[in-house]
Amino acid sequence: MRISSFASRLDAYIQTRLKKIRRSHFDANIKRDEDLVFKLRKKRAIPTWTQLRYLGKFYSETEKLVTKLAFLIILISTATFGVIVYRNYIETTPATGGEYAEAVIGAPTFINPLFSQTNDVDQDLSRLIFSSLMRPASDGGMVGDLAESYEIDEEQKVYTFTLRDDAYWHDGEPITAEDVVFTVESIKDQEFKSPLYVTFRNVQVRLINDRTVSFTLPEPFSPFLSIFTFGILPEHLWNTIDPSHAILAELNLKPIGSGPYRFASYTKDKKGNIISYKLKRNEDYYQDGPYIDTLVMKFFQSVGGAQSALEAGNVDGFGFLPQNIQTETQQTGITTHHFSLPQYTALFFNQGSNPALAEKDVRFALSLATSRHTIISTTFGDLADPVYGPILPGFVGYDESIQQPLFDPSQAASLLDAAGWERVYEETELDPASVESTDLGINETTGTQYTRQKTITRDNKKEETPLEVTLTTIQRSENIQVAETIRNLWQAIGVKVNVHIVDIAQFQKDVIKSRAYEVLLFGQIIGRDPDPYPFWHSSQSNDPGLNLAQYKNKEADKLLEDARRISDTDERHAKYVAFQKLLLQEAPAIFLYSLNYTYITPTYIQGINTERITQTADRFSEISKWYIKTKKRINFSL
């Protein structure tokens, strides 16, 4: 019994010792493994990739599986997060760079806000180089440019502007309210001969401090705010120039402004004509952008030349694409923009230049013989809208019930017959079956061509006067086609029509300024406010006024004068309706159609969001947002 008990205790002791020995060896092995792992790295805080190879020796199979699943979840989560960030928080933004070359019809003369109103090219360049107190927005509204804010008093007579404090001229000088005062005072100085003189001659401008300027009107003028889109001149450069010699200043072709682009260079041909004009981005511009680094304007005397340059790749865009040829331009990589433009084209009668046009019956007959549908479908492919008065749809004063007489050539012929304009038939007989409705001066029954004449007493002498008019228009393909269509329509009632085409470069000086025309086919842009005063008030009959029909009516003048003093929309509307009724009763003009502005650019130019413009230069009002290059960035505010 004792021996058995002893043996059992001995066996238990031995087993215990063996367990301790085995554990001691196991701990020793673990210690050696740990020493081996940490021996491979001096700094033990963070294991190396070499050390991590031994990690599996410490993990059980279950721990290995859990670790692998954890790494898989982390990998999937990271990838998912990356996709979410890219889709929702990575945005493409404009970057600086690139060059854009545009074809423009015409040539620069005075790149100066005081003189640029009579030349589209000058206005284009002035809009790019100079800043203004206000500028047009993409939707046709008005936003501050140099003006940080503005206030209008209760009487609607005092306008006070506060300038931003981060605007500088291209030569580095700061812009102050003194520059604004100097610009307006120069406009008011008749020696400068600015077309803006009439607008500001009775306006008082006052410097309040370096950043504040006010304008006081003698009476309320509703459209006044929309006028402040003209550029501001730097006083420190212009104050030493004699106003009487201002048009000769070098600054008119090498201007210094404060706009998004600055003058770089220009090139001339052998005759001294400027054929291209280069601008560089203003790196110190106070707005975001501009992003396009270089702008080049290339000048052409004809639409055909500009279109050929576009098709040859010598330019990237076209400043104005006539409606009648836009379908012919089908180049790849080109985007066509259609901007709403408050413009109408009309036939203006210069009654003093032709005794026949002084007769109201003749003017009414010509109106009845004018088919807007034929003009639009023939020339523009129905891409224009008919117009019947000087105020367009969507503007204060528009009334769709006011319309000129509709197309009725039979009534037109009868009206001329009754007015004593006798038909004079030619001997040549025509085949009536071969005569189309647009062939003119045709006797409906015999097919005999005819003209008209009337005995008119001049200087106590009776003279046989033919019913003959000269139709003058600018040398543009669409204008020429419209003029030819009108000639055909009018000759159908026996009126002989001579079409006179004048070169674009000479049109302003030789035709508009001197009022050297009998009937003028011309387009007028009415501005951001529908105020017809500049186009129809008797005081605007002579240059630089825009009353091309030289219309004079005291009652109409009073209506126009009253309407500009009224801020109430309903009252202004009533005044303008009454004015239009007077105008249509006397037929000093025939209103024809309104076109959208068609502008083409390369598709690589992004950021063009303009919807409505008032003048062609307005296509550049948001040019600081245009871009060619792009970059990507993370934006967690999206």
pLDDT in tens, 400-445: 888 777 899 999 999 999 999 999 987 544 444 444 444 445 544 4
Structure tokens at 191: 């020696």
What interhelical angle do 360-368 and 409-418 show, nearest 10? Answer: 160
Residue 429 belongs to some domain of the structure: no
Place of tokens 């072709």: 253
In a domain, 13, yes or no: yes
Domain identity same for 138 and 211? yes
pLDDT at site 3: 53
Looking at the fold, whether 347 and 334 belong to one and the same domain comes out as no
Alpha carbon separation from 540 to 351, 551, 557, 558, 561 (Å, rounded): 16, 9, 11, 14, 13
Q: Indicate if 367 and 478 belong to the same structural domain.
A: yes
Considering the domain architecture, whether residues 336 and 353 belong to the same structural domain is answered as: no
Show the domain range for 476: 343-422+467-595
Give the count of domains, the chain: 3
Same domain, yes or no: 405 and 525: yes
Whole-angstrom Cα distance, residue 147 to residue 145? 5
Mean pLDDT for all residues in the chain: 85
22-62 pLDDT per residue, tens: 565 555 565 565 565 555 555 555 666 666 666 666 667 77
What pLDDT, on the 0 to 100 scale, is given for residue 319?
82
For the chain, what percentages of helix, strand and coil (3-state, to nearest 5) are there? 40, 25, 35
Q: What sign has the CA pseudo-torsion 567, 568, 570, 571?
A: negative
Residue 430 lies in a domain: no
CA–CA separation, 601 and 321 (whole Å) = 11
Reference 35, options 20, 54, 60; nearest CA is: 54
Token pair 């030819």: residue: 484
Q: Is residue 184 part of a domain?
A: yes
Question: For residue 522, what is the DSSP state?
Answer: E
Give Dmax over CA atoms of the chain in angstroms. Answer: 175
Query: CA dist 258 to 78, 148, 322, 343, 514, Å?
Result: 49, 15, 32, 29, 35
- CATH number of the CATH domain containing 377: 3.10.105.10
What pLDDT, on the 0 to 100 scale, is given for residue 567? 79
pTM comes to 0.67
Q: What is the DSSP letter of 614?
A: S
CA geometry: angle 570, 574, 580, nearest 5 deg: 140
In a domain, 168, yes or no: yes
Give me the residue label for tokens 């600018």. 474
Q: What is the pLDDT of residues 133-152, one digit of tens each?
A: 999 887 777 899 999 999 99
* Residue 468: strand, helix, or coil: strand
Looking at residue 37, what is its pLDDT? Answer: 54
Residues 280, 412 within the same domain: no
Round to whole Å and give the CA distance between 499 and 493: 17
Residue listed under structure tokens 């367009």: 392
